[in-house]
């Protein structure tokens, strides 16, 4: 067993895990933060996307022990004071989902691309979301949701 | 994944000592190839030695005319580096087109080169731009670095420290990505230095290679018409579920033509 210290959704945690545990396994199985999903477990689908030190990464392909000392944010940490994040609201308003399995990863990627100043036009958003796969929709409403969420995020920060 | 031990190296010499003291060791950089192969049990190291904990291995600097990129620089870092954008925009663009957004935050240039995936982008950059691969013990020219599919000139315990890219006059990278995996079905790095053309092709064969007949024709006359009659033999190219060897040979020529057009526009 290895001991690691992480800041998860703003709270410091000390965790014990085996060296071969992935970050998503620790989040889901130990901390019961089951909002982060495991879709493919092969770095393709992006359902497990979380933020590590402010960057969107696929938590199925990160060893938990290598995240020692990191600042981790999951979909559960996005809402502040029980109020949904603007990107969550936008996915709801635009119906940017059908089954919803890919949605937490989509939202974490969307927030990252807005935070990093990605161009907010449909083609650039599609390119920036290419690491997140949705098998229900045609991505139309997802792209619309990201555009709406982005403008609301920018409004809130201005 | 089978069980293994993880070691955090604090310097290169520690990493080497750990490697040589282990039964089945593996270095880990970004881990975006190693972890998936370990999950599939295609790789089962007894000891995983973390290079991310060695300070300074991801620096990007310009020394004279040479762009020096630390082996642990992520694709996102190379793509966003103003130094890389200014001195070799083609390299920044290439890095920004690897995999997807999430992968680019973790994957590293050193990891990609050491792995030498036949469809990876960075081998084309290193070979096309005439880079030098600097390791813990020597400097390896890119022309002798790539040996075969997933094989390089690196010794088992050798660690890439940095990649040195000399200044070129012009460079462009064109990639025809597989729409699902985003790996290159064919990727072409075309560069010009003092009138000499270098072309490195990835994705088409077992390992990255230089398109010598196209290079000769374009060094003599850098124009689309100069390569009208030049062809690439499909004999040694890959055929798989995505494309036949003949299709890849055709793609190579099309991308080279587009590269010439882009650099003469």
pLDDT at B84: 98
Homologous superfamily (CATH) for A2-77: Beta-grasp domain (3.10.20.30)
Tens of pLDDT, residues A79-122: 888 899 999 999 999 999 999 999 999 999 999 999 999 999 99
User: Among all residues of chain A, which has the CA nearest to that of B34?
Assistant: A61
pLDDT at A80: 83
User: In degrees rounded to 5, what are phi and psi of residue B88?
Assistant: -160, 80
CATH 3.30.390.50 domain locations along chain B: 170-264
Mean pLDDT for chain A?
Answer: 96
CATH 3.30.465.10 domain locations along chain B: 60-165
pLDDT at A157: 85
Give yes or no for a contact between A144 and A126, defined as CB atoms under 8 angstroms apart: no
Residues A31-58 as b/e (b if ≥16 CB within 10 A, e otherwise) read bebebbbbbebebbbbbbbbbbeebbbb
B31 touches chain A (CB under 8 A): yes
Taking one residue from A and the other from B, the number of pairs with CB-CB distance under 8 angstroms is 68
- Domain locations in chain A as residue ranges: 2-77, 86-157
User: Among all residues of chain A, which has the CA nearest to that of B80?
Assistant: A116
Please list every residue in chain B whose beta carbon sits closer than 8 Å to the beta carbon of residue A129: 101
User: For residue B180, what pLDDT band results from cuts at 50, 70 and 90?
Assistant: confident
User: For residue B73, what pLDDT band results from cuts at 50, 70 and 90?
Assistant: very high
Homologous superfamily (CATH) for A86-157: [2Fe-2S]-binding domain (1.10.150.120)
Tens of pLDDT, residues A34-51: 999 999 999 999 999 999
CB contact under 8 Å between A20 and B2, yes or no, is: yes
- Rounded (10°) angle between helices B245-264 and B212-220: 20
The predicted model gives B138-165 an average pLDDT of 98
CB contact under 8 Å between A63 and B35, yes or no, is: yes
Fold of B5-50: 3.30.43
pLDDT(A158) > 90: no
CB contact under 8 Å between A20 and B1, yes or no, is: yes
CB contact under 8 Å between B101 and A129, yes or no, is: yes
B186 touches chain A (CB under 8 A): no
The ipTM estimated for the assembled molecules is 0.96
pLDDT at A112: 98
Tell me which of B42, B102, B108, B111 to substitute to probe the interface with A (most A C-beta atoms closer than 10 Å). Answer: B102
Give yes or no for a contact between B196 and B170, defined as CB atoms under 8 angstroms apart: no
Alpha carbon of A82 to those of A78, A134, B192: distances in Å?
Answer: 10, 27, 58
User: For residue B181, what pLDDT band results from cuts at 50, 70 and 90?
Assistant: confident
What CATH number belongs to B170-264? 3.30.390.50
Asked whether the domain spanning A86-157 has the same topology as the one spanning A2-77, the reply is: no
Fold of B60-165: 3.30.465
pLDDT(B110) > 90: yes
């Amino acid at each position: 067993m290895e001991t690691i210290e992480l800041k998860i959704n703003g709270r410091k945690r000390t965790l014990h895990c085996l060296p071969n545990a992935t970050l998503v396994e620790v989040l889901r199985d130990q901390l019961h933060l089951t909002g982060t999903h495991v879709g493919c477990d092969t770095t393709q689908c992006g359902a497990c996307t979380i933020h590590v030190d402010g960057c969107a990464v696929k938590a199925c392909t990160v060893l938990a022990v290598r995240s020692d000392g990191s600042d981790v944010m999951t979909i559960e940490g996005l809402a502040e004071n029980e109020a949904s994040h603007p990107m969550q609201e936008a996915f709801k308003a635009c119906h940017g989902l059908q089954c919803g399995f890919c949605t937490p990863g989509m939202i974490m990627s969307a927030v990252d691309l807005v935070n990093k100043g990605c161009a907010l036009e449909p083609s650039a958003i599609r390119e920036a979301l290419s690491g997140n796969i949705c098998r229900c929709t045609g991505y139309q409403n997802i792209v619309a949701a990201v555009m709406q969420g982005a403008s609301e995020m920018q409004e809130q920060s201005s | 994944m089978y069980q293994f031990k993880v070691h955090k190296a604090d310097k290169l010499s520690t990493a080497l000592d750990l490697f040589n003291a282990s039964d089945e060791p593996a270095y880990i950089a970004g881990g975006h190839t190693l972890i998936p192969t370990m999950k599939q049990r295609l790789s089962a190291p007894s000891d995983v030695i973390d290079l991310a904990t060695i300070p300074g291995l991801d620096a990007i600097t310009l020394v004279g005319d040479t762009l020096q990129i630390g082996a642990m620089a992520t694709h996102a870092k190379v793509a966003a580096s103003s130094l890389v954008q200014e001195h070799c925009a083609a390299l920044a663009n290439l890095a920004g087109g690897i995999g997807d957004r999430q992968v680019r935050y973790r994957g590293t240039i050193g990891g990609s080169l050491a792995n030498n995936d036949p469809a990876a982008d960075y081998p084309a950059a290193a070979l096309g731009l005439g880079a030098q691969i600097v390791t813990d013990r020597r400097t390896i020219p890119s022309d002798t670095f790539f040996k075969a599919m997933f094989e390089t000139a690196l010794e088992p315990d050798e660690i890439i420290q940095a990649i040195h890219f000399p200044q070129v006059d012009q460079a462009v990278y064109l990639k025809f990505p597989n729409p699902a995996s985003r790996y290159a079905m064919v990727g072409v790095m075309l560069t010009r230095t003092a009138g000499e053309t270098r072309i490195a092709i990835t994705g088409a064969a077992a390992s990255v290679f230089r398109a010598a007949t196209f290079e000769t024709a374009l060094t003599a006359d850098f124009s689309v018409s100069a390569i009208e009659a030049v062809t690439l033999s499909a004999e040694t190219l890959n055929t798989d579920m995505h494309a036949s060897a003949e299709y890849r040979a055709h793609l190579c020529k099309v991308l080279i033509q587009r590269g010439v057009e882009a650099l003469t526009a």
